[in-house]
Amino acid sequence: MSQTAHIPSHRKPRRSASKLAFRAGVAGGVFSTIAVAGAAAPANAEPVTETTLEMPTLGSLDADLASAVSASVEASQQEALDQSLAAQEKAALEKAAKDAKKAKAEADRKAEAEKAEKARAEARERASRTSERTSLAASSYSAGASDSGSSSSSRVATGSAAAIVAFARAQVGDAYVSGGTGPNSWDCSGLVQAAYREAGIDLPRVSSSQSSMGTSVSLSDLQPGDILYWGSRSGSYHVAIYVGGGNYVGAQNPSTGVVERSLDWDTPSGAVRIL
């Protein structure tokens, strides 16, 4: 017997032909069964729809995140820009309002200054006219009185009386206004009060009080500057100033204004002397 006769072989044993044939038959039967089942299925059976779910990739997630961050930054920048523009607009409006208020105040101040200067100029002009009229009236009265006799109706006004008469005559032609105290409109007692003020004498404002002052004098013994009254002495309703020569000056009524009239034109009730 040889030395190798008992060494087993390491080769895989070959399958027998009968086993191979059996396996082939089984496989064929299975395929035939599947074919028959497919043929036997209903013709109108709906095909099975396959649904494929696509899962996002890391690349697409990064792109979406970057887009969202960019949009957020852009929105924040736009909001900051809007707030800045709104603040600038508010500041501009406040500055414009402040400038307008300042300009209006300056315009008002200039207007008031111009108005005050105009009033002062008018007052100076009126004072100048009144002074001229008073001087002319005094000169005219003095010239006329010097040619008169020695009767009470032609007595010469001197001192305070001359100033009172001159002022009263200087207002002839001015308007009559109830409650008027000058400089261009008067009522009866307002004119008498202003005329006496020229002589440094303060009189009450109303006619009844003015006629109650001083001493009562006869109409036949009048002197320039005497106050004439109509009505009772303590309840007079009208007053005027005797200017000599049988005449008086008074603020009569709205239709005549300040006039010089003869005592005969409207004879007074009485007279008082204060000088």
* Main-chain phi, psi angles of 10, to 5 degrees: -95, 5
Q: Which of 130-144, 196-210, 256-270 has the lowest mean pLDDT?
A: 130-144
Report yes or no on 98 lying in a domain: yes
CATH number, residue 244 = 3.90.1720.10
Question: What own/partner pairs with CB < 8 Å and gap ≥ 24 does 255-261 have?
Answer: 256/176, 257/173, 257/174, 257/175, 257/176, 258/171, 258/172, 258/173, 258/174, 258/175, 258/176, 258/186, 258/191, 259/172, 260/169, 260/172
Q: H helices of 8-57, where? A: 17-40
Report yes or no on 58 lying in a domain: no
Say which residue, 23 or 100, is predicted with more confidence. 100
Show the domain range for 246: 79-275
Assess whether pLDDT exceeds 70 at residue 218: yes
Report yes or no on 245 lying in a domain: yes
Strand-pair partners of 228: 240, 271
Res 102: pLDDT: 86
CA–CA gap between residue 70 and residue 155 (Å, rounded): 112
Report yes or no on 110 lying in a domain: yes
Report yes or no on 33 lying in a domain: no
Report yes or no on 21 lying in a domain: no
Question: How would you classify the pairing of strands 185-186 and 175-176?
Answer: parallel
pLDDT digits over 46-94, tens only? 554 555 555 555 566 777 787 888 888 888 888 888 888 888 888 888 8
Whole-prediction pTM value? 0.48
Res 159: pLDDT: 82
Report yes or no on 74 lying in a domain: no
Give percent above pLDDT 90 in the chain: 41
How many domains, the chain?
Answer: 1
Report yes or no on 260 lying in a domain: yes
